[in-house]
Chains A and B, each alone.
Chain A
Amino acid sequence: MAEMVKLFVNGQEVEVESGKNLIDALKVVGIEIPHFCYHPALGADGNCRMCLVGIEDGRPPIVPACKTPVQAGMKVLLDAEHIKKIQHDVLEFELINHPIDCPVCDQAGECSLQDYYMKYSLDDSRMRVDQVAKAKRMDFGCGVVHDQERCVLCARCVRFTRQITKTGELGIVNRTDAARVTIFPGRPLNNRYALNIVDLCPVGAMTSQDFRFRQRVWFLKKDASICHGCSRGCNIYIDHHREKYKDDIIYRFRPRTNLLVNGYFICDAGRLSYKEENENRQVTSLIEGRQAPFDETIAAIRQKLDQARKPLILISPDCSLEQMWAVRRVSTLYGASLSGFSDAYVKAGDGDDFLINDDKAANRRGLELLGIKTDRKSFIEALQKTDLFVNFNNDLHFSGVDEEIDALLGTVQSIAVCSHQRDVFKTASIILPIASYSEYGGTIINQDYVLQAFAKAVVKNEAGKDMLEVTRLLGGAVIDARHAWPGIRKSVACLADVDPAAIPAEGIKLQTGEDANVGA
């Protein structure tokens, strides 16, 4: 715990953490200092002048809050007339050449310039000269579209490409009112994190080709979740909306800050993976290609499992811990072999040293801790012996066709319990649709053994059931996610003290046997 210091804001005493700048420290206690260029991931730049605050008896008496560390006894002025005038004047300056096209701007509703104008200015423009015209709809590459006229030149985007991705594609060229953000001719954005620029931009200058004009942000419901795109487990917001008489659709993923896992950013592939939650979903139950009611399909699966001599159950490494536990219980119930074989989810060499991991499985550590085998040899042996193969949403074709396994699958009767329509499930005689991760809640453990919880976000019209509901109907003892935990706690040492309802937002760094020496 950092040391606390007492200081005064507008004469009121507040207690804040030391070692932070005024913007960050006062934000924690609910005091907003307006700013454009400062961002905790990019550091203080001091170029926008919006965060200037007064320091009573200070030398100098007016300082940028982003570059000013908190000090005990400091007397900060935010609502003095001369500070209000600075805020007002900086906004007037920013708005001289701004097109004020909020009605057609995607940023409207989450725009700093718009919000600050409403809060600190509200004046008509005094300008009687023509505005400086600059380029609009510039394709910067990687799905980033730039509007030079909306830009406030805070340089967050430029600093992001230099400090974070170290690719340096962007720069601010010219000076005075001709200054603008641009790319070097013929060298567009070319990195796997470029769309973070759209989030970083405090105004509507950077928009996403994918999201722009698709939905007004104030209609979006923003639910916290975890990206299931790889074993990093980046924290995200799922922004979704149900238009009247239509279905609940996800419009975008945005990064959610978690310093323990992903910091402030997510990769572009993960960001765009929201599309997979919308598209290609399995929504109908099928028996031998015939559409069948859900209950009948469940009964058919039960019957097959009862009749099978040696069933084999395969589970997806993306499943939640609770689902894995419930499927494990079901496999015991029917005397089935259980595998979490998922070599296809590993794309060797795809990862980098920032956020992207080779392993595209969200919860492989879960399989490991629950003692579910994932090796190819035992899976193939079990597949050779089995007379009924039940696949719980494991995409064996994730990295393309696997001929050896496909040949074996061709000889055995199979059942697919799946969220998406995929090649690998097509051969199944019975197909049962289930919910995908945006539609249920649970816990997963990332590559670095951080246990994180996520909640249900999306409610589909034709909702697939949670896998836990399916396992319960198949006779499993686990009623819901909470009910899985007494068993999980007993079975996994490092989870023995975990209360799933009390997992903090940043997750819990688990102390596993091999990891205990490394430290948190």
Chain B
Amino acid sequence: MSDRSQLISTGESFAFDAERDAEFERLVVRYPIRESMIMPALWMAQEQAGWISAEAIEYIADRIGTFPAKVLELATFYTMYQLKPVGRYHICVCRTLSCWLRGKQDIVDYLADEIGIKPGEMTEDGKFSFEEVECLGHCGTAPVVQINGEFHEEMDLKKFKALLATLT
């Protein structure tokens, strides 16, 4: 995992749109501790803008009534939250023990050498972005690659190349 705490600022203020605003109010009453709303709120911000900016985090903190640093903790802990714009296909490669032992590095090296993206980077055409993530919970079928939220298990370099070829 790389450092995710270098937030990107859009220079424009962020606010939920009408639909998400209503959704926020519907959900927030469910939680006895208001701060529990941080994670759903981060999801909603990501759905709305595609990724989560510094302004979005400040907005969520203000809206919930907590410290921005606390929202930042959660946003950087979970790699499912995108803290910068991602490509059309966002590739997550698990780097935790089982996947590492079972050869995730071949896939990481391939992406670096052949596709030209290191962890945290995006191709110039915006097609692929790539991130190394912590355990995805499929250790029994390691190594695991997740593309736009979809799991691809028991990967090896050959299968991975074939998989990329299907993505247009």
Contacts and interface: CB of A to CB of B under 8 A. Distances in A.
B68 A184 contact: yes
Contacts of B67: 162, 167-169, 171, 184
Interface string A151-166: 0000000100010000
A493 interface: no
Contact of A174 (B4, B57, B68): B4
B5 A174 contact: yes
A184 B75 CA distance: 12
A172 interface: yes
Nearest to B75: A173
B101 interface: no
Interface string B133-157: 0100000000000000000000000
A169 B69 contact: yes
B69 A174 contact: no
A180 interface: yes
B72 A173 contact: yes
A173 B5 contact: yes
Contact of B5 (A162, A176, A177, A180): A180
A175 interface: yes
A377 interface: no
Given A174-B3, A175-B1, A178-B3, A185 B54 contact: yes
A172 B73 CA distance: 6
B2 interface: yes
A187 interface: yes
B7 interface: yes
A151 to B, nearest CB: 14
B69 A184 contact: yes
Interface string B47-87: 00000001001100000001111101100110000000000
A177 B69 CA distance: 19
Given A162-B67, A187-B69, A174 B77 contact: yes
Q: How large is the interface on B (under 10, 10 to 19, 20 to 34, 35 or more residues)?
A: 20 to 34
Contacts of A185: 7, 9, 54
A433 B94 CA distance: 71
Nearest to B57: A184
A170 B68 CA distance: 9
A182 interface: yes
A182 B5 contact: yes
Interface residues of A, number: 21
A259 to B, nearest CB: 28
A183 interface: yes
B1 A174 contact: yes
B66 A171 contact: no
A168 B57 CA distance: 15
Interface string A179-210: 01011110100000000000000000000000
B76 A174 contact: yes
B57 to A, nearest CB: 8
Of listed A172, A173, A182, residue having the most chain B CB within 10 A: A173
A168 B58 CA distance: 13
A49 B56 CA distance: 35
B54 A173 contact: no
A184 B72 contact: yes
Contacts of B68: 184, 187
A253 to B, nearest CB: 28
Interface in B101-115: none
Contacts of B72: 171, 173, 182, 184
Contacts of A182: 5, 69, 72
Contacts of B73: 171-173
B15 to A, nearest CB: 19
A171 B54 contact: no
Of listed B9, B57, B73, residue having the most chain A CB within 10 A: B73
Interface in A281-295: none
Interface string B1-45: 111110101000000000000000000000000000000000000
Contacts of B66: 168
A411 B5 CA distance: 65
Given A174-B77, A175-B77, A180 B69 contact: no
Given A182-B5, A185-B7, A176 B69 contact: no
Interface in A121-179: 134, 158, 162, 167-178
Contact of A171 (B1, B7, B69, B134): B69
Given A184-B68, A187-B69, A176 B134 contact: yes
B111 to A, nearest CB: 19
A230 to B, nearest CB: 28
Contacts of A184: 57-58, 67-69, 72
Of listed A134, A180, A184, residue having the most chain B CB within 10 A: A184
Nearest to A162: B67
Contacts of B9: 185
A184 B3 CA distance: 14
Contacts of B54: 185
B31 to A, nearest CB: 19
Contacts of B3: 134, 173-174, 178, 180
A176 B70 CA distance: 17
A85 B106 CA distance: 36
Nearest to B5: A173
Contacts of A177: 1
A178 B2 CA distance: 6
A170 B70 CA distance: 8
Contacts of A167: 67
Query: Which 8 residue pairs of A and B lie closest in terms of their CB atoms, listed nearest first?
Result: A168-B67, A171-B69, A173-B5, A173-B76, A184-B68, A171-B73, A178-B1, A184-B69
Interface of A: 134, 158, 162, 167-178, 180, 182-185, 187
Given A134-B3, A185-B9, A185-B54, 5 more contacts: A168-B67, A171-B69, A174-B5, A174-B77, A182-B69
29 contacts: A134-B3, A158-B69, A168-B66, A168-B67, A168-B69, A168-B70, A169-B69, A170-B69, A171-B69, A171-B70, A171-B73, A172-B73, A173-B72, A173-B76, A174-B77, A175-B76, A175-B77, A175-B134, A177-B1, A178-B2, A178-B3, A180-B3, A182-B5, A182-B72, A183-B69, A184-B68, A184-B72, A185-B9, A187-B68
